[in-house]
Structure 1
Amino acid sequence: MDRYYGRAATAPIEPPFRCDGFVRDGQLIAANGERLAVSELPPFLRALMVTDGTVTKILEAYFWEPVSVETLEQRFEIAREPVPWLDVERGDACLIRDAQLRGGMTGRCFAEAFSLIRTQLIPPDFRQRLIDREIGIGVLIRDSGLESYREVLDIGLERTASGAAVFRTYRIIIAHQPVILITEYFPLALYRGE
């Protein structure tokens, strides 16, 4: 949960891509101040940054292989600080999930996703399937028929041990309440074809 503490205060006032998929002078900014123009991203990666659809399906169609969600870690955690993007208060229990989206034939990691979930706000059947790690969050929402809205809140660039990654953070609103906060990391070298 640490990655979200205080984050809303440093994010853009107007969420990126709220109304448009085109931001003329858009910049991805890393914590160290490094900048990368959104226009310099490979076109498919730009499309992933703005989509409000299920990323797994889009990856399958683009890379033309099945993509599985591999849960690396899942646990309940008590918030030490508020997370305004999700209306989480200090002391609230949330489900934390770290997963990778991997190609079923190549084994390539197309993305890593870190999720913060207010499980008490989702229907019991949906909650149990989520805890049981049956399928990815996007597919689970679609299969359950829950009406939802996704809102991209932040985009950026992050340096990791394995290289640069472009990230986007978005929340999923269900029944007019922010319920799930997800940050997806896309390895820049993979999408550049390196």
Structure 2
Amino acid sequence: MQAKEIPVSKSDLLRADLQESLSHSHIDPAQITTFQRIILTTDGTLTEILEAYLYEKIQLVKLSQEIVASAQEIKALDLNIGTNIMNRKVLLQGKISRRNWIYAESVIVPARLDEIYRERLLKSQEPIGRLWLEHRVETFKEIIDSKRELAGELSDYFLIKSEDKLLSRTYRVFSKGQPIMMITEKFPESYFIDK
């Protein structure tokens, strides 16, 4: 007896929120590589995923980090104007190749973090995902946006042209039932082409 083939639509393959995020940004999941799709749609720790794919240890390069009072409401984090936030910009870089694989911007609510985790985040050179594992921080991630955009000034980090395209995702991270940070990760569309 032969198994009956069941038709599958694209919308059956991704969670509804991910499908909406990708279609809002006009990114067709069928038109990007498998690994690009994994980066844009999974809620796993990106550092670990990159290391498994690249077979290379990933290190963090901090570009900037500052604690400031929010100049505007941040609805995704349920924050009012004037709340202290940490703005952080980093690169995830291959430890051996020294190649920059990901550029990430984070908006973090320090008051919502455990003290030890907050101190490690401020002072260490470890990616956020590794610190979650080290401190056993229970998290839930919700992808809220995906984009295809021009590289612009970020092109220098990836040694590409400013008119080349980047793919990105933005997600909220919840812990203990409240949003603790919002992270945007970007990488060149020319990266992670299936082997």
- Give the shorter-chain TM-score range: 0.7 to 0.9
Structure with the higher strand share, 1 or 2? 1
Aligned to 2:193: 192
Q: Does 1:168 align with 2:173?
A: no
Instruction: Give unmatched runs, 5+ long, in structure 1.
Output: 1-16, 30-34
Secondary structure of the residue aligned to 2:190 is: helix
Shift of 1:80: 1.2
The correspondence for 1:110, drawn from 68, 84, 101, is: 101
Deviation at residue 181 of structure 1 after TM alignment:
0.4
Flag the structure with higher helix content.
2
- Quick check: 1:89 aligned with 2:80? yes
SS at match of 1:191: coil
**1:140-159 maps to which residues of 2 (within 5 A)?**
140-159=131-150
The one-letter amino acid paired with 1:27 is S
Q: CA contact under 8 A between 1:167 and 1:186: conserved in structure 2?
A: yes
Q: What is residue 128 of structure 2 aligned with on the other side? A: 137
Q: Secondary structure at the match of 1:189?
A: coil
Mean CA deviation greater in 116-125 or 129-138: 129-138
Where 2:137 maps in the other structure, the secondary structure is coil
Relative distance call for 1:28 and 1:100 in structure 2 (3 A) is farther
1:186 counterpart letter in structure 2: F
The CA deviation at 1:27 is 3.3
In the TM superposition, what is the alpha-carbon distance from 1:18 to its structure 2 partner? Answer: 4.7
Answer whether contact 1:28 1:37 (CA < 8 A) is retained: no
Residue 51 of structure 2 contacts residue 57 of structure 2 at CA under 8 Å; is this kept in 1?
A: yes
> Which of these two proteins has the greater Rg computed from alpha carbons?
2
Query: Which secondary structure does the structure 1 equivalent of 2:191 belong to?
Result: helix
Go from structure 1 to structure 2 and tell me whether the alpha carbon gap of 1:28 and 1:37 turns closer, same or farther (over 3 Å shift). Answer: farther
Cα pair distance change 1:18/1:81, threshold 3 Å:
farther
Matching residue of 1:27: 23
CA distance, structure 1, for counterparts of residue 145 and residue 111 of structure 2: 25
* C-alpha distance in structure 2 between counterparts of 1:150 and 1:130, whole Å: 18
Q: Is 1:78 aligned to 2:81, yes or no?
A: no
- Deviation, 1:28, is 6.2
Partner AA of 2:113 in structure 1: I
**Cα displacement (A) at 1:66:** 0.6
- Cα distance in 1 between the residues matched to 2:171 and 2:177: 15
Q: Deviations over 1:11-54 (max 9, x none)?
A: xxxxxx65576x49x5363xxxxx44222111101011111111
Q: How far apart, in 2, do the equivalents of 1:175 and 1:62 lie? A: 31
Query: What does the per-residue CA deviation read over 1:141-162, in whole Å, with 9 as the maximum and x for residues that have no partner?
Result: 1110121111111111110223
Distance 1:38 1:28, change over 3 A: farther
Deviation readout 1:98-123 (Å, 9 max, x if unpaired): 00011111111111110000000111
Q: TM-score, normalised by structure 2?
A: 0.81
Q: Deviations over 1:127-176 (max 9, x none)?
A: 00001034111111111012111111111111022321111000110100
57-66 or 161-170: bigger deviation: 161-170
Q: Which runs of 5 or more structure 2 residues have no equivalent in the other structure? A: 1-13, 156-163
Match of 1:128 among 116, 119, 122: 119
RMSD: 2.0
